[in-house]
Amino acid sequence: MTSKPSRWHELGPFTVFDVETTGMSPVNDRIVEIAAIRVDIDGIHSRFHSLVKPGIRIPDEVIRIHRITNEMVGKSPSFPNVGKDFMAFVQDSILVAHNGRFDLAFLQESLSRHGIALWNGRTMDSITIIRHAYPGLPSYSLQNLQRHFSLGTGDGQAHRAFTDVEWTLEIFGMSMQRLLDADKK
């Protein structure tokens, strides 16, 4: 008989990730920032972060959202380099993203565009887990969850990949632990 995990990360490893982009279309737009925190089954955290040179201009209305400028990404590595490093980082883990369909679509399209093997591992959308752990919240947007649960220090800037990853990891971990604890009762 195997014992049930006592801590959520024992079900992993998990890699929480987020991308910022030039727009909303994975086909027409490009990744400008990618960040991730990997949580191994022993609870050890590893971090990945890179700005990405998109090869197209970032529209002003998008810059106003994530505050990543064309100048900031001008000397950054292009996606083929970042994508290969990212895929090595996430290998053998479960990918987790908040509103995962968006982030995964951009990741897969970018990998395909550059001839890099697609992600074929497990994925989880943190929104689904959070809804199960905390039903009935008025909104499950990351910014509303950050305020509701007082996540992080408040220093981070929403719509920057690493801040969003930190907030997602915090609420995802709380939710997974809550569900795991409820399952033991």
Beta-bridge mates of residue 167: none
Tokens describing residue 163: 């801040």
DSSP state of 138: S
Identify which of 156, 157, 153, 151 has the alpha carbon closest to the alpha carbon of residue 126: 151
Beta strand 31-39 with 14-21: parallel, antiparallel or unpaired?
Answer: antiparallel
Residues labelled catalytic: 159
**Alpha carbon distance 14, 95 (integer Å):** 6
Question: Using the 8-state DSSP alphabet, how is residue 56 labeled?
Answer: S
Nearest-Å Rg of the Cα atoms of the chain is: 17
**Token code pair at residue 48:** 């990945």
CA angle 104, 26, 113 (to 5 degrees): 90
